[in-house]
Amino acid sequence: MAIKTRRFIANRKSCSCSMPGVWRAVSYCKGSIVIFHSPRACSHIARGMDINMHYRVMADESVEEWEPAPLLSSQLEEEHSIFGGGERLMQCIAYSVREYRPKLIVIASSCVAGVIGDDVVAAAEEAEQLYHIPVIASESCGFLDGEYYQGYFEIAGKIIDRFFKRQPHESGTVVLLGESGGPWGSYAKEVTRLLRAMNLKVLGQFPGYWPVERFADVTRAEGMVILGGRGLMQTGLTRMAQRLSKSFDMKYLPADIYPVGLSNTMAWLQGIGKIMNREKEAATVIEREMLFLEKKLETFRMVTRGRKIVLCLGRQLQYFNPAAVLEMIHNLQVDLTGIILLDAYSGTEKENMLKTLAQYTDTAIFSAAEGEMLLQQAELILTTHELKDRNLRQLFVPALLHAGIAGEIEFMEAVYRLLKSKIRKGGISYV
C-alpha cells in the first residue's frame, strides 16, 4: 500500500497569493497601513498569519516588540464585479487617512479586482495627490500574475525606490534582509547572536520591520546579511542585495550560503568575517560553536547512535535542500534505513532530487509505494509532509531549518528527545 500524506500534495504554478506578501513587506513598519482591495475574507488570511507568528514568538519565549500595521479591506461585494470597485477603494483610503493618519499607505490588489479590471495603481496615484502621503500599490493581483514573493519584493523594491538614499556608512553595522519569522523569531535571533559575537551591530531587519520615518536609515549600514530561504525568496533577496550593493555601496556575502546546518553555518561565519573584516573574530566564534556542538553531540549520540530512522521527502528541490538534514542525521550517527520520495515529484523534479541526494548519501531510496514496510520498522520518521498513518512517530522537517548552531542543536535535540521518550505513540512533532 502506498504511503499517504495527510493532505494532497499537488505541484502546479500559482500556489500562493501576492496579497499576504504585500502585507508582510510592511507588516511591522510603524506608520504604514495596508489596504487589501479585495473581498473582506481575504484579509482573514493575513490575520491568521499574524496570529500564528504571534504564537510562534510566544512559544519561543520571546515578545513582539512592535504592533502590526493596521490592515483594512475595501470589502468588495458582488455588485462591484459589475460596476467596478474603484470608488469603494477611494472611500476606504479616505477613511484610513482620517482614522490612522498614516505615513505610508500600501495597497494590495486581489484576483477579484484583477478580473474586474480595477486600476489600483491609478487609484494610488490619485490618492497620493489628494492626501500628500506616499501611496504604493502592488501591480500583482492575488494569484493571477504573481505569488506571495512577487507582492513582497515588489513593495520592498518600491520602498527602496522612494525612501532610500546614498549616505556614509556606520562601520561595523549590518541590516538583516528577509523574513524568516521576523526579528523576534529564532532564526533572526540566532543570526544576530552570531553577528554580535563577531562585534557586528544589527541595525534592524528589512523589509517589514523598519519604521516608515526611518526607512532612509537602512543604507547607513555597512553591510547586509541575507536571512536566506529557498526558491523565490532566495532569488528575490539576492537581487535586492545586489541592487542595494550597487546603488548604496553596501557589502554582502554573494555566495549562496546561509547559516543553516553545520557546514553552511561555518562557511557563512567565515564569509561574513571576510567581507566585514572580522576574520579573526569569525575564527574564534567557529571554534567556540564547534566545541559547544561537539559537547551536545556526545549527549545526543548516547541515545541516537544506531537507531532506525527514515527520511520522507515530498518538497521540491527549489524550496528545500536535504543537505542540512542529511548532515544532522550523519552527525547523530543514527541508522538511516531509507529515504522515501513521496508522490509529489514530476519526472524532472524527481531526477533532480535523486541527483542531489546522491551528492550527500548512498542510502537506499524508495518510492511511496515501496516504502510502507520501511516506515513500520522505523523508530522515527523525519518528514517534509505529515503522513496520514497516525501510528507513525514523525518529526516535521521544515523548508528552512532554524539558523546557526542553535538551530542545528534544536533539531537534533528534537530527534534525541523523541528517541529517548518512553512514550511509543505516533503523531507528528514540530521543531
Q: Which residues bind another protein (CB under 8 A)?
A: 6-8, 10, 12-17, 36, 38-48, 50, 68, 70-73, 75-78, 80-81, 91-92, 95-96, 99, 110-112, 114-116, 142-145
Q: Minimum Å distance from CB 411 to another protein? A: 25
3-class state of residue 57 by DSSP: helix
Which residue bears the cell 537506499? 364
CA–CA distance, 419 with 37 (Å, rounded to integer): 49
Nearer to another protein, 90 or 267 (CB): 90
CA distances to 74, 75, 94, 102, 299 from 87, in Å: 10, 12, 11, 20, 65
| Min CB(18)–another protein separation in Å | 10
Taking the complex as a whole, the smallest distance from the CB of residue 91 to another protein amounts, in Å, to 7
Name the residue nearer to another protein (CB basis): 272 or 312: 312
Q: Rounded to an integer, what distance in angstroms lies between the CA atom of residue 88 and that of residue 73?
A: 10
Q: Give the separation between CA 49 and CA 55, rounded to whole angstroms.
A: 10
R_g over Cα of the chain: 23
Give whichever of 118 and 408 is closer to another protein, judged by the CB atom: 118
- In order of 126, 309, 430, the CA distances from 122 in angstroms are 6, 57, 45
Beta carbons within 8 Å of 323's beta carbon, 6+ residues apart = 261, 263, 264, 356, 359, 360
| Least distance between another protein and beta carbon 71 (Å) | 5
Element (H, E) at 6: none
Nearer to another protein, 8 or 255 (CB): 8
In the bound state with another protein, the residue whose beta carbon lies nearer, of 72 and 137, is: 72
Nearer to another protein, 48 or 254 (CB): 48
Nearer to another protein, 147 or 281 (CB): 147
Contact 11/352 with Cβ under 8 angstroms?
no
Three cell numbers written together for 266 = 561555518
| DSSP, res 133 | S
Is the Cβ of residue 128 or residue 145 nearer to another protein in the bound state? 145
Q: Which residue has the cell 523574513?
A: 179
Task: Please give the DSSP secondary-structure letter assigned to residue 5.
Answer: B
Nearest distance from residue 94's CB to another protein, in Å? 9
Amino acid in the structure at residue 109: S
Task: Tell me the closest approach of the beta carbon of residue 141 to another protein, in angstroms.
Answer: 9
Task: Kindly state the smallest distance separating residue 371's Cβ from another protein, in Å.
Answer: 18
We find the least distance from the C-beta atom of residue 35 to another protein, in angstroms, to be 9
